[in-house]
Structure 1
Amino acid sequence: MPKPIAGFSKLSKQEKIDWIVSNYTQNPHEAEQIIRSYWNTDEKLQQLHDEFIENTITNLYVPLGIAPNFLINDNLLAIPMAIEESSVVAAASKAAKFWLSKGGFKTEVLGTEKVGQVHFIFKGDTAKLELFFKKIKPKFYTATENLTASMANRGGGISNIELRDKTGDLANYYQLHCTFETKDAMGANFINSCLEQFASTLKSEALDYSLFSEEERQLEVIMSILSNYVPNCLVKAEVSCPVSELNLSKEISPEQFAEKMVRAVQIAKVEPYRAVTHNKGIMNGIDAVVLATGNDFRAVEAGVHAYAAKDGSYSSLTHASVEDGIFRFWIELPLALGTVGGLTKLHPMVKLNLQLLNDPSVEELMQVIAVAGLAQNFAAVSSLVTTGIQKGHMKMHLMNILNQQHATEPEKIAAIEHFKTHTITHRSVIDFLTGLRNQS
């Protein structure tokens, strides 16, 4: 068993590699060769990657694909998607192509408000705390002027600060619930810096407030941190067409297809087990673009799934209806993003991907990403209610299976041709390769 190591972060990159391969791999030489094979040949670029995080030993590549033909508010875009799962880019592209001739996607930003909170414990009279808050509220703004000046010049800043009584949920628990506009920045550092100053002002002012008792003056700040739940940072994306134009399958009529699509979404609205997988498919599209544009997909995931449960039960993020012969399919979800700061200015591929999207503002990027999620969900649910999900998925997965079995190029060509008319399973692909190899 390896021994714990002290000062790992202070080791050189090579020393870190030597330690990890010698202690945790069966073949240290082979492991080091794999690690080195993923280094960028451009030393300056590799150093840039090394400095993104701590204790870096190599890179883990994720394929970057392009989904073309997205008509969004009459602008034609090709969307970059970074993801390892097969069929996601193909499905999004298929949906984009289908809606291209039907007016494309229509989008609208409904809000851009972001949230942060100062959580504190106050053992005293709530009425006195409310009077205290009203008195010192202007000081929160003046104390952060040095932090907000640059953001204010761009049209952003602190929107509001309110005191919230949460003692019904937890004894003596209150919070400053703060809202912000951060324009094209994701704004995490800006928000957290403001919150920490709010906390400092809150504590210092409490010590000098004459109406507080000695115990009340010892107000205790627990933490100051932004929230990744941003229910008022919302975007909506929609597609629609006459039901008669929903000619996606030879197996069912457009009318039957529309009815099954609506039913499928209704099921995802009322059944959490289905809703989770339904929304995971949406996030396949969303996360791929969030990652490609250097944004925080973990924050987006957390906020989106919280929004899906906002009414007390986890439910579908998409909606579908048929009214007066018109099929509508739409999504509404929160997206806290940035197009300046962070990786957007550091990572060369991120900068290029944003360039491919015409260097969008945050609001424009919100709309593009919402469309990617809607397109992905339309493609997935369309497959589910017609041919089933596995036919298309396994077709895309075929190459992964062939690579796992170290198939040669001639074997891959033969397999692709064979499985145009045969069912693809892991076992059937292995059997086909075995037979092919036995023949030769």
Structure 2
Amino acid sequence: MTNSRISGFYNMTLEERRTHIADAAPLTPTELAPWTSGGLSPEAADHMIENVIGLYSLPLGIALNFMVNGRDVLVPMTLEEPSVVAGASFMAKLARGGGGFTATTSEPLMIGQMQVINVVNLHEAKLKIYEHKASLLEEADSIDPVLKKFGGGARDLEVRVIADSPIGGFLVVHLIYDVRDAMGANAVNTACERLSPKIEAITGGKVHLRILSNLAYRRIARARCTIPVKSLAFDNFSGESVRDGIIAAYAFAAVDPYRAATHNKGIMNGVDSVVIATGNDWRAIEAGAHAYAVKNGQYTSLSTWGKDADGNLVGTLEMPMAVGIVGGATKVHPAAQAAVKLMGVKTANELAEIIVSVGLAQNMAALRALATEGIQRGHMSLHARQVAIAAGATGDLVEKVASLMVAEKVVRIDRAEEILKGFES
């Protein structure tokens, strides 16, 4: 069984970390190999996108301490931004004191949209579609026998009347499709293509666009955590002051879209990094998240923070989570396969539950920093290393240059270059 608590992991060498991950997961050296090499050959990449000339690498780190629904999970995170992996890991450690993260998901239902234009009578056409609903669903359900074998397929049909638009009125037909462990874009788009001629025959109109919607409001993931108030205390900050500071910071994001945009960006730091590591479509997840954040008419926080009757900090996060573990890059990219294997997920819903938990942890890390010592203190030393490397530092000089900049509180590339010249002279 995986143990997500590895003492001193940060101070280990790269090779020591790989060894500990292999032992804790457990993974074989062959399964770990893609993370050492980057996992993707130029030849494989050439079959994934167009006009390939090479590869572009990002760091892959492991978030520790996560317990999701009572199970320890080592979480792979792929991103370039410092502090995110460390912040999420520390918040996961605090969450363990309250039982870890509890996460749930709805059924993996995706929405396919068909835009029906050139309709003479919109409301009459809407009624006609509903009259043929059973046969349309039967047709859509027969398209993918493999998906149907695993319990997926067409579930419902909805019709919306758009009374006015830049081109006048039209209908929008929503096909609700259970995609099981896939992200679902190909299955849904294929089903919409197949239904289009029948929709045209029923309505007398023309089906123009036929495409999946990334506002996956029927495929929701939710996470919740309770942090014992005493565990929030550090330095000169009491647990109560940290708790209240986090709640006040959340309140800002709840009512102000300017703050909410940055607040939700912090959530997506955690979410996207796991989505990328597993070969899923992070642009789709981003689009769905931000559309969901404005579902009530104003852009707002995706998370909530408050306190329970005992004064403990309680956080929740709810957002669309259309991720898969079959098909797409998840099955093509060796590093993505290793990521899924590391987490031990067997279903797309399990993966979604882990991702939303990481998003909540990262949100708490950012709010805790903002509400206490400020975002720059913890971020500065990690950022300083990147600046030192950009200035040309290598080996031990990276830490030396970074440490001096942090001590001076001047983290700029021109200062890094000056310090580096001093060491080299």
Q: TM-score range by the shorter chain?
A: 0.7 to 0.9
TM superposition shift of 1:92: 1.4
Aligned AA for 1:198? L
Aligned to 1:93, which of 89, 96, 101?
89
Is the Cα contact below 8 Å between 1:143 and 1:201 reproduced in 2?
Answer: no
Runs (5+) with no aligned partner, structure 2: 1-35
Instruction: Provide the TM-score with structure 1 as the length reference.
Output: 0.83
- Counterpart check, 1:238 vs 2:234: no
Q: CA RMSD in A?
A: 2.2
- Higher mean displacement: 188-197 or 89-98: 89-98
User: Residue in 2 aligned with 1:294?
Assistant: 279
TM superposition shift of 1:421: 4.3
Aligned AA for 1:392? G
Q: Distance in 1 between matches of 2:292 and 2:127?
A: 33
**Sequence identity (%):** 34
- Counterpart check, 1:367 vs 2:353: yes
Runs (5+) with no aligned partner, structure 1: 1-39, 207-216
CA shift digits 1:315-347 (9 cap, x unpaired): 111101123222201111111111101112211
- Higher mean displacement: 44-53 or 265-274: 44-53
Aligned to 2:49, which of 35, 48, 53?
53
- Higher mean displacement: 90-99 or 230-239: 90-99
- Higher mean displacement: 232-241 or 294-303: 232-241
Is the Cα contact below 8 Å between 2:107 and 2:178 reproduced in 1?
Answer: no
CA shift digits 1:89-130 (9 cap, x unpaired): 121122122223332111111343211111012442344324
In structure 1, the residue corresponding to 2:41 is in which secondary structure? helix
Q: Distance in 2 between matches of 1:287 and 1:374?
A: 12
User: Residue in 2 aligned with 1:281?
Assistant: 266
Aligned to 1:323, which of 298, 308, 320?
308
User: Residue in 2 aligned with 1:8?
Assistant: none
TM superposition shift of 1:44: 9.1
TM superposition shift of 1:422: 4.1
In structure 1, the residue corresponding to 2:188 is in which secondary structure? helix
- Counterpart check, 1:399 vs 2:385: yes
Q: Distance in 1 between matches of 2:250 and 2:43?
A: 47
Aligned AA for 1:376? Q
Aligned AA for 2:330? T
Q: Distance in 2 between matches of 1:197 and 1:279?
A: 37
User: Residue in 2 aligned with 1:334?
Assistant: 320
In structure 1, the residue corresponding to 2:223 is in which secondary structure? strand
TM superposition shift of 1:408: 4.0
Aligned to 1:309, which of 265, 275, 294?
294
Is the Cα contact below 8 Å between 1:120 and 1:222 reproduced in 2?
Answer: yes
User: Residue in 2 aligned with 1:379?
Assistant: 365
Superposition map of 1:198-237 within 5 A: 198-206=195-203, 217=204, 219-237=205-223
User: Residue in 2 aligned with 1:251?
Assistant: 236
Q: Residues 175 and 414 from structure 1, CA distance in 2 versus in 1: closer, same or farther, beyond 3 angstroms?
A: closer
- Counterpart check, 1:432 vs 2:419: yes
Q: Residues 164 and 93 from structure 1, CA distance in 2 versus in 1: closer, same or farther, beyond 3 angstroms?
A: same
Is the Cα contact below 8 Å between 1:251 and 1:386 reproduced in 2?
Answer: no
Q: Residues 251 and 429 from structure 1, CA distance in 2 versus in 1: closer, same or farther, beyond 3 angstroms?
A: farther
- Higher mean displacement: 169-178 or 233-242: 169-178
Structure label with greater radius of gyration: 1
Is the Cα contact below 8 Å between 1:394 and 1:424 reproduced in 2?
Answer: no
Q: Number of matched residues?
A: 387
TM superposition shift of 1:220: 1.9
In structure 2, the residue corresponding to 1:236 is in which secondary structure? strand
Q: Distance in 2 between matches of 1:390 and 1:44?
A: 35
User: Residue in 2 aligned with 1:106?
Assistant: 102
Aligned AA for 2:176? T
Is the Cα contact below 8 Å between 2:221 and 2:320 reproduced in 1?
Answer: yes
